[in-house]
Structure 1
Amino acid sequence: MVVMRAIALLWVASSLVVTAIALLDACPKPCACFSKDGTKYVNCSRADLTSVPAGIPADVQQLLLSGNGIANLSKMDFAGLKSVVSIDLSSNQLTNDAILPGTFDDLPFLGVLNLAANENFTDFPKNLPTRLYTLYFGYNRVTRVTEDSFRNLPQLVYVDFENNQVESIAPGSFENQHHLTGLSIGFNQITELPDGVFKTTKLQYLGLRFNQLARVPADLPATLTDLDLVGNKIKEIPSRIFSNLTELQTLQVWQEKTLTTIGDNAFEGLGKLQILDADFCSIDRMTNATLSGLSGMWELYMGSSQIPYIPPGAFHDIKNITTLWLDGNQLTTLDPTLLDTKALPRLSEVFIWDNPWTCDCHLRWLKEHIDNNNTSPTIDSPHIMVCNAPPKLKGRAFDTLSPKDFVCGNQDSEPSTKSSALGPGIVEVVRDERMRMPFTGAGKSLRVARVWRDENTSICTPAVIDDYSILCMTGVVLLFLWVGFSMGRAMDKRQRAFAEAPGKMCF
């Protein structure tokens, strides 16, 4: 009985060995066949192949043939591979006519095809499987997209043809793409998109990075959640250009060196936008309406631009902001209300280094905030925040100064932000006050550096001589001239009285 059981075990073991050898033989050389996470792979990449090898296991699901010299494909190459879902043919020698009719007819589940980096492709190939839902076609030499390029691929969900040489996309090129949700067409030479060219799609992601677009595309599908316009030639973002993109969550326009203008209310309708990246542009103006409509935004990147001033109400709509990048602009001062956590309760990080700061009394609040354990919001890297003015502080980093160094003129005083009722004899010092003058005309004012005010008088002493300061100084001079003239007339009158009645004078 024991002998019989031993014989049976030997028979089973030998059967397993035979099966294993058969499986090894079923994998064509020099390919590698294996399973991972329940998926069966055949990897024939970078094997110096000039054609698809025979003998590929019929149950393969992922077939990898990249990095070879395959120049032609026919139906026989994939006969019997009825389980294959994805084929990678990138970096081969395929041409426009290399894929013969019927090549993929026996592959009922083929949905992903990678034809990238076949540098001899100058057009989108015909004879692709109609059930295809993902097509990778980057790094080829296609120069245009026509109405027929994707006409026979109605199931496409994602298409990538980045890094080609596409200059134009014809109207109607995507009119039958009702399932398309992702399109990557960056790093081409596209100068303009036809209005509404993607309107019939369900695009959620549109990548147009580093093309030659001179304006923001109009009439984009309302389903978009991510729009990438990085590195184009756009000069202006017009008002309300995105008003229909109510689902947009990410907008990238960075490295647009031609972009100087963001129109007021340009982002109206983008209440769900979470990230706006406009770094490395040439934006030279910000108003209280520049960021209007961005009530849901978390992160704002507007660094390395040309913004000289931010008005106090510029951030009133972005109440959910957490991270703010304003580094590398032309800012000289900053209103404390801009970073007030009462208005921006979630603001946690602010990046404002590499600006030409004027370190006077108007920025003392910022220095005190940094010194006060840099509580929320945190000002990043104050050790590289450098003063550009006044001259005695030029080149000094914030961390080498104390709040007492942040002064205006020769006085160590704070900017006045409050009015006070002064009693007789009490003198108040006010900095940088705008005094309304009756002779300056409607809407004009006189800006002075210091004002000494008591109950009855105000005397200004401008620190900088300008047109308004001259007016103030002229008034003082005229006052002294009038007093001198009055005193002279009084002396003349007294002398005439002496001459007319000398006997009446007493000594």
Structure 2
Amino acid sequence: MRCVSRLLLGTCLLVLGPAVQGAPSPGQCPSLCHCHGDLQHVICDSVGLKRIPRVSEATRLLNLQRNSLGAIPTGAFSDSKGLVSLHMQHCQLREIGSNAFKGLKKLVYLYLSNNQISSIKPGAFEDLAQLTYLHLDGNQIAELSKGIFSPMINLFVLQLDNNKLRELRPGTFAGARDLRWLHLSGNELSTLQPGSLDEVENLAVLHLDGNRMSSYPAAAMSKLRVVEELTLGGNPMRTVPDNAFQSFGRYVEKLHLDSMGLEKFSDGAFTGVTAVKSLHLDNNKLRSLPKSLEFTTITNLTLSNNPWSCTCQLAPLRRWMDSSRTRPDAMCASPPAQKGKQVRDSPAFSGCRVKAKKAKKGSRH
């Protein structure tokens, strides 16, 4: 797999510094660092650097994580044109300036996780046409300017978890048409504006859990075609509308809709969803499930901590439980005679099954 093979090249790191050390003599490892493979790997992890060291064009991996670098000055990597993997995690970086990575035309991996980055200047990612994996999680980013990722025509994975993003606007991902994994968990997103995901319609993995969206972003999601995994858990949504997942319903296999305070699904919420295998609905306020939810392909279903109403409306769920190898916890809250019973054990559905069989039998005549 593309992700795995490339990730074998290195581990995460963060770089930003107020100054740059002079270039080492040919064949010399930078002071305080240790080097491998004729300077192809330069490791400066946790060595107390205050400045970004110069490395030769032969260097492929530069590990600078856990140093106090603060910023990335212009020209910091002008002698490092052969870099493929750059690690700058935990470097107390505060800003990514314009042309911060100028000259790194071969860079594939850029790790900037767990810094204090609050500002990314226009042109910050200039020259990064080969960049495939960008990790910006664990920072203080509140806003992304239009087209900030546009130089990254090969971007495949973008990690923006645990920042302070409040909204996504149209044009944010312009140019990044190859993006497949977008991680936005643990931000402060209250809305995804219509059109904000139009440029990344080929997303396969979209993580939006742990944000502040009170309504399902139907307009923003409508252009997505091949989402296989969607996480929305922890957003305070009371309802999910009709056709919510329809545009990618043939592909979606994992849906995380847990811990949201969900009270109901519209009857057509799952219209077009034909491939879902894992569905997580635990820790909500659901009493019933919509008619559009098909259980045929589901192999992993979580339902606990919901006030289920054990009436015939839940009969399809009970029939699935009876035929499934796994019988998830789901407690009846009503009617009073069934309160406290597990859905899988409740006798409330016996009449529903008889009625279904009679109706089927009658249809033969």
- How far has the Cα of 1:380 moved from its partner? 4.2
8 Å CA contact 2:137–2:160 kept in 1: the answer is yes
1:204-226 Cα offsets, whole Å, 9 max, x none, are 11110100000125421111011
| Residues 229 and 274 of structure 1, relative CA distance in 2, 3 Å threshold | same
- Distance in structure 2 (CA, Å) of the matches to 1:321 and 1:211: 30
Larger helix proportion of the pair: 1
Who is 1:213 aligned against? 165
| Alignment of 1:362 onto 2:313 | yes
Task: Please list the CA deviations of residues 425-479 of structure 1 after superposition, one character each: whole Å capped at 9, or x if unmatched.
Answer: xxxxxxxxxxxxxxxxxxxxxxxxxxxxxxxxxxxxxxxxxxxxxxxxxxxxxxx
What whole-Å deviation, never above 9, does each CA across 1:251-275 have from its counterpart, x for those lacking one? 111122x122223343223222211
Distance 2:277 2:156 in 1: 25
- Which residue is equivalent to 1:30? none
Distance 1:379 1:355 in 2: 18
Partner of 1:309: 264
Counterpart for residue 216 of structure 2: 262
- The answer to whether 1:279 aligns with 2:233 is yes
1:176 aligns with one of 124, 127, 150 = 127
- Determine if contact 2:76/2:100 at 8 Å carries over to the other structure: no
- Counterpart of 1:206 in 2: which secondary structure? strand
Q: Quick check: 1:112 aligned with 2:61?
A: yes
Aligned counterparts of 2:307 and 2:223: Cα–Cα separation in 1: 34
- Counterpart of 1:330 in structure 2 is 285
Contact 2:269 2:292 in 1 (8 A): no
Counterpart position of 2:190 = 235
Aligned residue among 118, 123, 143 for 2:71: 123
**RMSD over equivalenced CA pairs, Å:** 3.0
Kindly indicate whether the alpha-carbon contact (under 8 Å) linking 1:116 and 1:138 is maintained by their aligned counterparts in 2. yes
Change in CA separation of 1:178 and 1:362 when aligned onto 2, cut-off 3 Å: closer
Which whole-Å CA distance do the structure 1 matches of 2:177 and 2:21 have between them?
Answer: 41
For the 8 Å contact 1:131–1:155, the answer to whether it is kept is yes
Partner of 2:143: 192
* Residue 352 of structure 1: aligned partner: 303
Secondary structure class of the residue paired with 1:367: helix
Cα shift at 1:402 = 1.7
SS of residue matched to 1:350: strand
The alpha-carbon distance between structure 1 residues 211 and 88, as it changes in their structure 2 partners (threshold 3 A), is: same
**Which residue identity is paired with 1:207?**
Q
Aligned counterparts of 1:140 and 1:77: Cα–Cα separation in 2: 27
Query: Hey, what does 1:386 align to over in structure 2?
Result: 331
Equivalent AA in structure 2 for residue 242 of structure 1: L
Moved more, 231-240 or 296-305: 231-240
Between the aligned partners of 2:92 and 2:125, the Cα distance in structure 1 is 20
SS of the aligned residue for 1:392 comes to helix
Give me the whole-angstrom Cα distance separating, in 2, the residues matched to 1:393 and 1:323.
Answer: 27
Cα 1:90–1:218 shift into 2, 3 Å? farther
**Equivalent residue runs for 1:62-77 within 5 Å:** 75-76=24-25
Contact 1:255/1:281 (CA < 8 Å) preserved in 2?
yes
What is the distance in 1 between the residues matched to 2:170 and 2:355?
50
Q: Distance in 1 between matches of 2:133 and 2:304?
A: 37
- C-alpha deviations, 1:261-315, integer Å up to 9, x for none? 2233432232222111222222222111221311321211111112211233222
TM-score normalised by the chain length of structure 1: 0.59
TM-fit CA distance, 1:163: 0.6
Matches of 1:274 and 1:340 in 2, distance apart?
17
Q: TM-score, normalised by structure 2?
A: 0.80
Residue type matched to 2:231 in 1? D
- The 8 Å contact of residues 363 and 406 in structure 1, kept in 2 or not, is answered as no
Q: 1:4-28: per-residue Cα shift (whole Å, max 9, x none)? A: xxxxxxxxxxxxxxxxxxxxxxxxx
